Amino acid sequence: MTSLNNASAAAADAIAEEGLIGDPVPLWKQTWKRLLRKRSGQVGLIIIGLLLLIAITAPVIAPYDPNDVLIGTEHVKRREAPCVHLLGCDINRPQHIMGIDGNSRDTFSRVLYGTRVSLMIGLVTVTTALVSGVLLGAIAGFFGGIADNIIMRIMDVILGFPSLLLAIAIVAVLGPGIVNALLAISIVSMPAYARVTRASVLSVKTLDFVSATRALGGSPARILFRRVLPNALTPIVVLATLGIATAILDAAGLSFLGLGAQPPMPEWGTMLGTEKDQVFSAPHLVFFPGIAIMLTVLGFNLLGDGLRDALDPRLNT
């Protein structure tokens, strides 16, 4: 006991201020810095930044209206190969760097406008699925018991179907169209968010800082939305970023089958679907929309990967 007394008397008031050097850095800034340090985060951000830029400035950079049929206005043939002046295409011919599609439209302009559609699809579906899934998962995990059982069994049923097949079934019932396709994709991706949220909430709600807020007299709503959810969100943010990629891919798949975006909407999946029979005679018509889908999906996957590491405040510099 004497050792306890001696050691403490001197030390008690002289607390080392170790680790408190420099100005305090807000958490989001630390996260941003960590994201920028990772290669996957950098590349993902660049790709998505470019896509956003294209989506916003599409009317400016697109040489043609995406739905303009060029027969009669220009001397072009259907499904004509790309003509790039820099690569030696005759300077007198109009430039179409991704060629002409089966309806005599400029493919490049359509791919550019397709960025808008795809990003919109990704954001809308993931937001819908995220909000509903996180809410259901949080309720299931936080309150447990019967609510947990009912919610999670419904989610299990949805998960029991192959997701694209269920989406097709839903669209078949609701009728084809971009809005119904988005709804279908939201429904099939919701259980993933519910599950991850529930698991995350279950592990966070037992931590002492949650008990501390409870002991301070905090209401259940305060505990769930201020303490538990923000700390349970890391895996969900990552999942959502990766989910945008999946949603874009699923929507392209539905459109490819003719169940999603309807012609003449410049949607990459629809573009692939309408020209799929010409893969050998006019490969540029499936190549460029395909590349666009791949780049977008890659961008979101890389960003999700980078976010996973960046979002943990404990992995500090």
Partner 1 sequence: MSALLELRDIKKSFAFRKGILQRVVGQVNAVNNVSLTIERGRTLGLVGESGCGKSTLARIVVGLFPPTEGEILFDGLQIAGADIPIDPKFSRRIQIIFQDPYSSLDPRLPIGDSIAEGLVIHGIGDTKSRRKAVLDILALVGLPPQAADRYPHEFSGGQRQRIGIARALILEPEFLVCDEPTSALDVSVQAQILNLLKRLKGRLNLTMMFISHNLAVVRHIADDVMVMYLGHAVEVAPVNELFTTPRHPYTRALLSATPIADPDRRGERIKLIGELPSPLNPPSGCPFHPRCSYAYDRCKTELPAMITAGGSRVACHAVEAGKLPPA
Q: How far is CA 280 from CA 82, 122, 225, 277, 287, in A?
A: 15, 30, 55, 8, 11
Q: Which one, 74 or 309, has the nearer CB to partner 1?
A: 309
Answer for which of 215, 221, 280, 281 binds partner 1 (CB under 8 A) is: 215
Sequence-separated contacts (24+) of 283-291 with Cβ below 8 Å = 284/81, 284/82, 284/98, 284/99, 284/107, 285/79, 285/99, 285/101, 285/102, 285/107, 288/98, 288/99, 288/107, 288/108, 288/111, 289/107, 289/111, 289/114
| Nearest CB to partner 1, comparing residues 32 and 209 | 209
Q: Is residue 5 near partner 1 by the rule CB under 8 A?
A: yes
Residue 212 in the binding site for partner 1 (CB under 8 A): yes
Residue 61: Cβ within 10 Å count = 12
- Gap between the Cα atoms of 289 and 270, Å rounded: 9
CA atoms within 13 A on the CB side of 23: 4
Q: Is 12 in the site for partner 1 (CB under 8 A)?
A: yes
Residue 116 binds partner 1, judged by CB under 8 A? no
| Number of residues binding to partner 1, judged by CB under 8 A | 40
Asked whether position 157 contacts partner 1 by CB under 8 A, the answer is: no
Nearer to partner 1, 8 or 57 (CB): 8
Residue closer to partner 1, measured from CB, 7 or 46: 7
Query: Per-residue string for binding with partner 1, 21-50, x by CB under 8 A?
Result: ---x--x-----------------------
Q: Does 218 interact with partner 1 (rule: CB under 8 A)?
A: yes
User: Does the protein bind partner 1 through residue 230 (CB under 8 A)?
Assistant: yes
- Three-class SS state of 100: strand
Work out whether 209 is an interface residue with partner 1 (CB under 8 A): yes
Angular region, 19: left φ>0, alpha ψ -120 to 50, beta rest: left
User: With binding defined as CB under 8 A, does residue 213 bind partner 1?
Assistant: yes
Question: What whole-number distance in Å separates Cα of residue 182 and Cα of residue 308?
Answer: 26
Decide if residue 13 touches partner 1 (CB under 8 A). Answer: yes
Considering only 132, 214, 264, 278, the residue that binds partner 1 (CB under 8 A) is 214
- Out of 175, 217, 221, 281, the only residue in the binding site for partner 1 (CB under 8 A) is 217
Three-class DSSP category at 96: strand
Q: What are phi and psi of 96, to 5 degrees?
A: -130, 95
* Interaction residues for partner 1, span 133-152 (CB under 8 A): 145-146, 149
User: Residues interacting with partner 1, by CB under 8 A?
Assistant: 1, 3-5, 7-9, 11-13, 15-20, 24, 27, 145-146, 149, 207-209, 211-219, 222, 227, 230-231, 313-314, 316
